[in-house]
Amino acid sequence: MSRLGHLLVLGLFVLGDGLFVQRNAARDFHSLDGLWTFVREPRNSNGIGFAEKWYERDLRQFKNATVMPVPSAYNDLTADSRVRDHVGWVWYQTQYSKPVFVPKNARTFLRFSSVNYYAEVFVNGMLIGSHVGGHLPFEFEVKMSCEHVNSITVAVNNTLSHSTIPPGEFQYKTGEMYPKGFFTQTPGFDFFNYAGILRSVYVVFTGPSFIKEIKIQPNMENKSVSYSTNGDFCPSCMVTGTVLDPSGRPITLQAGTFGTLHLSEAHKLQLWWPRGYGDQPLYTLRVTVLKDGQVVDLYDEQFGFRTVSWTSDHLLINGKRFYCLGFGMHEDSELHGRGYDPVVMIKDFNMLEWMAGNCYRTSHYPYSEERAREADRRGIVVITETPAVGMKVFNSQNQKLHGQMLQEMIARDRNHPSTVMWSISNEPWTDKKESRQYYKDLIDIAHLVDPSRPVTMVYGPTGYSNDVTADLVDIICVNRYYGWYINMGYLQTINASVVYDLTQWKKKFKRPIILTEYGADSIAGLYQEPSVDFSEQYQVDLMRQTHLAFDTLRKKNVLAGEMIWNFADFMTAQGITRAVGNHKGVLTRSRQPKRAAYILKQRYESFRNNSY
């Protein structure tokens, strides 16, 4: 055992803590982003690092050690296909020195914003906790010494074979035709299974008493804000909540860990609106923890005054019909894979606004916390999706994991005004009888944990006639590929097919319907007149025909929104229908417009100019 292994470590799982890092008078954080030591286990090793206790060793001494940037996926950063296509464990390690000026009684947390898919975390050689699911933050309380350099080791596995929630199915292939130990992994989803430490890692410091969670429920009718907080508060601590107006002026004060703050009669309430419908004023709830009159913790959480409701036809924001003009997306870019990159994020938002979009779905997993905050600021409406694609197996084991991810997602994002809906799944096989109870339970959880937002599912393989769950959701999302997967090349069928299909969903379920995916692959620069599949013209022709249907459906109040698949080209696993990824983007993977982007821009702008 190395010297590092003897240092004292205390691991404590702080589940459901949705608070992002913040630096203020009472808390601080250090970023651990940068180059971490990286060692990959062999593809078939099945955890040699655990057997040999790599978490107690200095990985820099390993002959096969290299470095990997955090945050980033590791897959695309070498020229080695074994790294790109790795299945199994990889090990990350870094060293952290805690400054001596951090007060002795400070609480210290290690926070991971996203590690895909399963992570075990060790500090100074001792296991402090694990997390499954990717895409969502988790943190552990740790005791780190100032006298020694602390070693932080993370074992990451991009698969979890007992589950059919991503990342897919395994098949071992034996016999003389195959090398020994050969297996394939077929993802049950159409995006590359980027892995590693995908978002930022922080060391967070708080005082001995600290805030763990803040729930805010603004109420426009009586100009009030209900809130509740929980945390680790000393018996003599006093907690207060204060609302600051969008210019940062305090306008109310209330004692207690929960309560309702009433804004004064004189205060003119400023509503948060989606982009194109009005402004995006953001209020702040400041939660302060005091001991003997001294501030011991402080957290500023932003929120907006807005309501989300729905009729059988429409989604309403602040009581006004909201028509979604948007995108299915991916957090995906060259080199970074699914790693968080503020450069990509800002370019994405700016291109989305250039096309006059007003919403997106976080297909097919929760996006970064930074993205949710930016959506609040810009007024982009978001459907936030649980990481559960193409679900086929509806057993209690999957349901438990699914429910856990759903709750972590809601805990993280519940205070964002831009988040208007929770999507429980993308394209589940909900023609299966047992899927009904499976989803009923999950939908009940979402409603219970957050009664303020509608719940949706995104239907793909099932139709209005055989789906057994659609009556359980508040809003129905449907993906349809007429002219692509259905009747490829027969553009003349699209209009009638889309109108017929969506009208049937509507008649049967009487819910607002959003068409969350339609589109065609196009290889940028591949031109064919008349159009053929994969040409830029075909993508445009398909969109034009689909838009004819949308216009009819809108007039009949059947459609509450439309989202093109996809915002940009993105990487997938290798497959005979994918030429270096999925090319249904209206932008290329480097976010340059194809012809389709101009068509969409024209359409979305025309809505804005005609006040939707």
Residues that bind ligand BDP (CB under 6 A): 190, 364, 426-427, 460, 479, 517, 565, 582, 584
Q: Is 427 an active-site residue?
A: yes
Distance between CA atoms of residues 305 and 417, nearest Å: 7
- The residue number whose beta carbon is nearest to ligand BDP equals 190
Helix, coil or strand: residue 348: helix
Find the shortest distance in angstroms from Cβ 516 to ligand BDP.
Answer: 8
Task: Give the distance from CA 137 to its chain's centroid.
Answer: 10
- Token reading at 299: 């957290």
Q: Nearest to residue 569, comparing CAs of 545, 593, 605, 600?
A: 593
Q: Nearest to residue 474, comparing CAs of 428, 443, 500, 503?
A: 443
Find the shortest distance in angstroms from Cβ 111 to ligand BDP.
Answer: 29
Distance between CA atoms of residues 332 and 342, nearest Å: 12
* Cβ proximity to ligand BDP, 474 vs 517, nearer residue: 517
Distance between CA atoms of residues 407 and 404, nearest Å: 5
Contact in structure between 449 and 409 (CB atoms under 8 Å) = no
* Cβ proximity to ligand BDP, 141 vs 427, nearer residue: 427
- Per the rule left: phi > 0, alpha: psi between -120 and 50, beta: everything else, 152 is beta
Find the shortest distance in angstroms from Cβ 497 to ligand BDP.
Answer: 16
Find the shortest distance in angstroms from Cβ 573 to ligand BDP.
Answer: 11
Contact in structure between 186 and 129 (CB atoms under 8 Å) = no
Distance between CA atoms of residues 156 and 134, nearest Å: 10
Find the shortest distance in angstroms from Cβ 426 to ligand BDP.
Answer: 5
Find the shortest distance in angstroms from Cβ 353 to ligand BDP.
Answer: 24
Considering the candidates 41, 427, 517, 536, report the single residue annotated as catalytic.
Answer: 427
* Cβ proximity to ligand BDP, 486 vs 532, nearer residue: 486
* Cβ proximity to ligand BDP, 33 vs 517, nearer residue: 517
Helix, coil or strand: residue 534: strand
- H/E stretch holding 114 reads none
- H/E stretch holding 91 reads strand 89-96
Q: DSSP secondary-structure letter at 515?
A: E
φ/ψ of 400, rounded to 5, equals: -65, -45
Parallel, antiparallel, or unpaired: how do β-strands 115-116 and 210-219 relate? unpaired
Distance between CA atoms of residues 100 and 538, nearest Å: 63
* Cβ proximity to ligand BDP, 554 vs 578, nearer residue: 578
* Cβ proximity to ligand BDP, 257 vs 426, nearer residue: 426
* Cβ proximity to ligand BDP, 287 vs 596, nearer residue: 596
Distance between CA atoms of residues 413 and 450, nearest Å: 11
Catalytically annotated residues: 427
